Amino acid sequence: MLYLVARFLLRPLFHVALRMRVTGRENVPATGPVILASNHLSFIDSMVIPLSAPRRVHYLAKAEYFTGSGVRGWVSRTVFTALGAMPVERQTHRAAQEALDTALGVLRRGDGFGIYPEGTRSRDGRLARGKTGVAWLALTADCPVVPVAVKGTDRVQPVDARWPRPHRVSVTYGRPLTFPEYRGMAGNGRARRAVTDRIMVAIAELSGQEKTGWGPEEAAPAREEAAPAGPARPHEAGSRP
């Protein structure tokens, strides 16, 4: 109920204030587990995407967004809870794998889950090479991945800004990606890297961002060096806002 109220109140507000342009909503499957994998430019990405998506999308958010004090803390806690965000500790032992396990639970319920494969917000507007937690999730849950590109949110609320400012925002949902050739290979490092790079190439095509840290392999992601086999390591998990 809180989610429906939040969408009813916040969605028109965001569309008007940010002059939001949303394309490709039809590419998001209406039912069943799905991962929305997006570039990450600003704190508000985790509000813009759930409010523009055609179905509910869960995100992991750092626990501090749920424990703040005063009016700002109450607003943060209320909005993130209403939009389906789930608090997670970032510095605890095995935190990254526990976060992935939480995300896997969401997908196994048949819900949508949003993730930022870069692992952190971009400070220079370029697209970093993705961490392989997104591939571990997709292959373990055996579900499609919808690449997403947000533009303009870094102008609304830059990384170090305390309050948002008006600017046009766009959200583009790409065609779902599936990886039948890697089914059952979530524990294989080469498979995780190949799947992750395919997802990141799709995001780059939608966002038009310059790549950084990809190296010469960016043109042929499937031929990259394998990471060690096994579950995604903590630094590979993907990000929270």
Note the pLDDT tens digit of each residue in 12-64.
777 776 788 999 999 999 999 999 999 999 888 988 999 899 999 999 877 77
Kindly report the CA angle at 19 between 16 and 24, in degrees rounded to 5? 115
pTM: 0.82
Tell me which residue has tokens 């055996």.
Answer: 142
* Residue that wins the pLDDT comparison between 222 and 96: 96
Which CA distances in Å does 138 have to 91, 164, 228? 24, 33, 18
Note the pLDDT tens digit of each residue in 168-221.
899 999 999 999 999 999 999 999 999 999 999 999 999 999 999 887 655 444
Average pLDDT score over residue span 87-107: 79
For residues 89 and 92, what is the distance between their CA atoms, to the nearest angstrom? 6
DSSP letter for each residue of the chain: -HHHHHHHHHHHHHHHHTT-EEE-GGGS-SSS-EEEEE----TTHHHHHHHHSSS-EEEEEEGGGGT--HHHHHHHHHHHHHTTEEEE-SSSTTHHHHHHHHHHHHHHTT-EEEEBTTSS--SSSPEEPPPTHHHHHHHHHT--EEEEEEESHHHHS-TT-SS------EEEE---B--GGGTT-TT-HHHHHHHHHHHHHHHHHHH-PPEES-GGGGG-GGGSPPPPSSSPPGGGS-B--
Note the pLDDT tens digit of each residue in 133-149.
999 999 999 999 999 99
